[in-house]
Structure 1
Amino acid sequence: MRRLFLFLTLAAVVAAVSGAAVISTPVEIDVKMPSISGDPGRGAYLARMSGCIACHTNGEEGGAPLAGGLALRTDFGTFYSPNLTSDKKTGIGDWSVEDFAKAVRHGISPEGKPYYPAFPYPFYSRFSDQDIADLWAAFQTVPAVDEPSREHDLGLPFNIRDGLKIWRTAFLDEGPFEPNPEKSDRWNRGKFIVEGPAHCGACHTPRNFAGARQVELAFHGADGLPDGGKSPPITAEALRKKGWTAKRLTYALRTGVLPDGDAFGGSMGEVVRDGTRFLQQEDLDAIAAYLLNED
């Protein structure tokens, strides 16, 4: 018993020291963007695909586009989306393209602080340099709005932002897009959209005690979504059992209307309203091909 007590005590001390070391270590990610021109039109399209407008516009309270303030209520507390307009004091107007790339693809602020994973940067890590340049060009056109970002309403220990360094070490899943050479261009385009900017797995994959996605159960649906919502499974098998076809799926993503005549509700309704209804038909076809695994 004495040896067990000593072992557990030693293990606790080691864990505490290791955790403190991780927290005190700065997140050093050196981002260098090539000198390439961005296309603001393509960037605006990617922003729609990525849900930027939906998450960073507080429409219910009459907020300006991308000025932030939208509440995201979770089991960890309430997060508020930040101001992404070109305002130099309250938005991202004084950022560089490298700052932008570091934030979007790696979840690190210009000051070197980690962002909470309520911001789906692990999915955005799939963006290429050209994608980032296009998005940056688009955000430069957003009118400045002097609207300070609201502080997140989180309790202990979740309000200790540096604690996210431990979370990143244990759970972060990021990396560039890797196409499957055995699949068609359409299927791979769908894979990029679904697993990248559209971040479908953020809502349709269950999460563990720490809020990290259980990647082995990708697209199997999830409970405990923000504001108490839940999502259905969207694996190919589950979709087919529900009678979904490629045409029905693309039509629903375009209009919000389900095969039975009902309509998407809750957060999925917002996804269609602010995102997927703006997508080109070939991208909707690609999403359907990937989700239904139809090459």
Structure 2
Amino acid sequence: MHRKILTPVAALAAAGAAFWFLTGAEGLDAQALASVEPGDAARGERVFWAGGCTSCHARPQAQGDAKLELAGGLELTTDFGTFVAPNISPDPDDGIGAWSEADFANAMLRGVSPEGAHYYPAFPYTSYARMETQDAADLFTFIKTLPPVSGAAGEHQLSFPFNIRRGLGLWKMLYLNEEPVLALGQDASEALRRGQYLVEGPGHCGECHTPRSFTGGLEKGKWLAGAPSAEGNGIVPNITPDESGIDSWSASDIAYYLESGFTPDFDSVGGAMAAVQANMAKLPAEDREAIAAYLKSVPPRPNGYPASQ
């Protein structure tokens, strides 16, 4: 019995077909979308501040009510290239005003555009994947109440091979997971579970506070242990209850810091965290307390970045 030997051309075609099949963009299943109730803007505002939407999608340096004009334009310069935050205002032409609720949920929870393309994970959908679909619907309803802003933000500036979006399908196979990062005990309080949800999901704290592999995925074994800044300027601190992190902070210290911006040492928040803290200050006190409870419960880790940084 003779075996057929694939020619190099046929082998290449087979590999290309396999790549195309494996890297397709997958959205939410119909059942997940069908279970969602009509969005509630009041609940959505709470998700909006927890998710820090203005930090990336408002115009750079926006203040006051201008933070609610989600025109985009913020540039994030990384080792992979420069990513530009898009306009997500309700403008129907340049923003997301023409999107459906399903379009928005697929973007948030699966990193898939309405056209079926992959979004780059500078948009932290690997954390948002842990959100409830209902929260995405509520958030979308709130965003639709904000001012529409015309004008598209700039394009990403990426070199080969990072400009090939299709390859993100393989990346997502490694790093897109809706399961919690940490396993909580069955006796975990509702506050602790709420804190986990906020930190691991909409708050996407791990996206900055956890080191990444050379492929850009989070090293979850060093969860929240601090990391070099993705933009190459300084470090993002360790926020685990390790002596090199926030072991000396009480849960009330953490909650107060998120509310006021003041540390237990009477220092004040600075850098990129200033915008995050401003968002957290708009949450109900119980959410800040839940975040604090979760941060005090995570395993202590030594700093996740080199000591020289």
1:105 to 106, 109, 117: 109
Matches within 5 A, 1:276-287: 276-287=280-291
For residue 154 of structure 1, give the secondary structure of its aligned residue in structure 2.
Answer: coil
1:292 to 286, 296, 302: 296
For residue 73 of structure 1, give the secondary structure of its aligned residue in structure 2.
Answer: strand
State the match for 1:21 in structure 2. Answer: 18
1:181 and 2:164 correspond:
no
1:165 and 2:166 correspond:
no
Tell me the CA shift for residue 139 of structure 1: 1.4
For residue 269 of structure 2, give the secondary structure of its aligned residue in structure 1.
Answer: coil
Tell me the CA shift for residue 175 of structure 1: 4.1
1:36 and 2:37 correspond:
yes
Deviates more, 1:154-163 or 1:95-104: 154-163
Tell me the CA shift for residue 172 of structure 1: 2.4
Q: Unaligned 5+ residue runs, structure 2?
A: 1-7, 299-309
For residue 79 of structure 1, give the secondary structure of its aligned residue in structure 2.
Answer: strand
Please give the TM-score of this superposition, normalised by the length of structure 1. Answer: 0.87
For residue 281 of structure 2, give the secondary structure of its aligned residue in structure 1.
Answer: helix
Cα pair 1:72 1:227 within 8 Å, conserved: no
Deviation string, structure 1 residues 206-241 (Cα, Å, up to 9, x no partner): 000011001111111111422523112111234776
Q: Unaligned 5+ residue runs, structure 1?
A: 1-9
Cα pair 2:130 2:180 within 8 Å, conserved: yes
Please give the TM-score of this superposition, normalised by the length of structure 2. Answer: 0.83
Tell me the CA shift for residue 277 of structure 1: 1.1
State the match for 2:207 in structure 1. Answer: 202
Deviates more, 1:127-136 or 1:95-104: 127-136
Tell me the CA shift for residue 85 of structure 1: 0.8
Cα pair 1:23 1:165 within 8 Å, conserved: no
Tell me the CA shift for residue 21 of structure 1: 2.7
Q: How many residues align?
A: 282
CA distance in 2: counterparts of 1:26 and 1:125, whole angstroms: 17
Higher helix share: 1
CA distance in 2: counterparts of 1:231 and 1:34, whole angstroms: 38
Cα pair 1:128 1:176 within 8 Å, conserved: no
CA distance in 2: counterparts of 1:279 and 1:102, whole angstroms: 25
For residue 288 of structure 2, give the secondary structure of its aligned residue in structure 1.
Answer: helix
Cα separation, partners in 2 of 1:203 and 1:42, compared to 1, 3 Å: same
Deviates more, 1:206-215 or 1:225-234: 225-234
Cα separation, partners in 2 of 1:219 and 1:35, compared to 1, 3 Å: closer
State the match for 1:223 in structure 2. Answer: 228
Tell me the CA shift for residue 171 of structure 1: 2.8
Deviates more, 1:160-169 or 1:17-26: 17-26
1:73 and 2:92 correspond:
no
Deviation string, structure 1 residues 249-282 (Cα, Å, up to 9, x no partner): 1111111111111112211112112x11111111
CA distance in 2: counterparts of 1:291 and 1:180, whole angstroms: 15
**Aligned-residue RMSD, C-alpha:** 2.6
